[in-house]
Amino acid sequence: MATRHNWTKEEILEIYNKPLMELLYEAATVHRKNHDPNTVQVSTLLSIKTGGCPEDCGYCPQAARYHTNVEGNDLMSVNQVKAQALRAKESGSSRVCMGAAWRNVKDGEEFDSVLEMVRTINKLDMEVCCTLGMITENQAQRLAEAGLYAYNHNLDSSEEYYKEVISTRGYQDRLDTIGNVRKTNVTVCSGGIIGMGESVDDRAGMLVALSTLSPQPESVPINALVPVEGTPMEEQEPVSIWEMVRMVATARIVMPETQVRLSAGRTQMSREGQAMCFFAGANSIFAGDKLLTTPNPDVNEDMELFKSLGLNPQKAFEKKEQPKSVSAEESKYQNLGEKPKWSRPGHTIERNVEAQQKSKAKA
């Protein structure tokens, strides 16, 4: 069956709410038709610049305005990144995803450094992904030229619920950045978080937004919120494994060719729960003991789980060929010194304001 780009919320809700055994069977069938069910892609997430972010994302301990235990760091050096990438490769990762706590990319020295990191990791024959906030078309082209394989930019939730989570940027900014990445050869990684207090309708709304993109994202991370003390969402109840399995299975059915990525929240899941997610169509994970700033299962634990389930890590560039890295000197796209105007809706989100006030009181 050809991939559909016209899923409606009603159709997606109908899938999400099916009796679980039927949902699992359907998702596993779609999965087998489109992927090897015994192969799982493994990425290592590396925080190359931690904390001090000006945004107000209600789930994020890296937002400067909340008082959390996250220690901020300046941008890592290219050599530090290379050393970490080599470690990740030795432990079975085929992809390194570099995250920087920025609102958007700014042309200049730091971005030039990130471009060098991309070239360096690509030369290690690993897939390189970046998550750096909003980017312009020229910045996306420069990343592509450096050899970037994927760009991550999550939609987080439905357009309606996004307004309850973040007030410092709009949903359209997210879609525009994804559109800028799509103008290049770089693949798109975009997903969201469940457990932020959103309704099942919102979850379906997010899947509509993702599945109606054409082409659909090559990678869709499904995160379960890890509530962090000091953030506005510190008291959210963890989502149940059934909700996670339903979300993974529904994503698999509506986006058959996508790699559905089990992301944050894996430490709260049993091995059996994770196995059920793989059966439901999840076929990529983040490895390493930290996911940017929140805990993640140990690499050895993951490899043991893979062994007991008979799963194999996917080799690099199995889905798409390795991009070439153009050197900085030969680059066709130059630093334009752009100052794009990304939106700032600035509406009030009560729980974000409260968390900020508590943080000020602690300071």
Helix/strand/coil for 276: helix
- CA–CA separation, 23 vs 15, rounded Å? 7
- Burial (CB count <10 Å: 0-12, 13-18, 19+), residue 32: exposed
Kindly state whether residue 204 participates in binding ligand SF4, applying the rule CB under 6 A: no
Nearer to ligand SF4, 37 or 227 (CB): 227
- Both structure tokens of 218: 């090559």
Report how far apart, in Å, the C-alpha atoms of 6 and of each of 162, 189, 208 are: 22, 20, 8
For residue 29, which of 218, 207, 252, 246 has the smallest C-alpha distance? Answer: 252
Nearest to 232 by CA among 351, 347, 68: 351
As measured in angstroms, the least distance from the Cβ of 159 to ligand SF4 is 17
The least CB distance from residue 68 to ligand SF4, in Å, is: 11
CB closer to ligand SF4, 60 vs 239: 60
Which of 47, 259 has the CB closer to ligand SF4? 47
The minimum distance between CB 194 and ligand SF4, in angstroms, equals 16
- The active-site residue, picked from 65, 95, 130, 189, is 189
57 is in an annotated binding site: yes
130 marked ligand binding residue: no
Q: Is 60 known to be catalytic?
A: yes
Q: Which is nearer to ligand SF4, 192 or 313 (CB)?
A: 192
Whether residue 277 is annotated as binding a ligand: the answer is no
Provide φ and ψ at 194, rounded to 5°: -110, 155
Tell how strand 259-262 and strand 219-224 pair up: parallel
Is residue 291 involved in binding ligand SF4 (CB under 6 A)?
no
Of residues 97 and 280, the one with the C-beta less far from ligand SF4: 97
Please identify which of the residues 65, 95, 119, 129 carries the catalytic annotation.
129
Q: How far is the CB of 63 from ligand SF4 (least distance, A)?
A: 4
Query: Which residues 23-62 are close enough to bind ligand SF4 by CB under 6 A?
Result: 53, 55, 57, 60, 62
Active site residue 261: yes
Q: Is the link from the previous residue into 295 a cis peptide, with omega within 30 of 0? A: no
Helices H, strands E: what count in the chain?
Answer: 12, 12
Residues 61 to 100 in contact with ligand SF4, rule: CB under 6 A: 62-63
Distances (CA, A) of 333 to 137, 139, 142, 144, 219: 10, 8, 6, 10, 26
Q: Is 130 a catalytic residue?
A: no
Instruction: Determine whether 97 is an active site residue.
Output: yes
**Min CB(4)–ligand SF4 separation in Å:** 30
Residues that bind ligand SF4 (CB under 6 A): 53, 55, 57, 60, 62-63, 101, 133
Which residues are tagged catalytic? Answer: 53, 57, 60, 97, 129, 189, 261
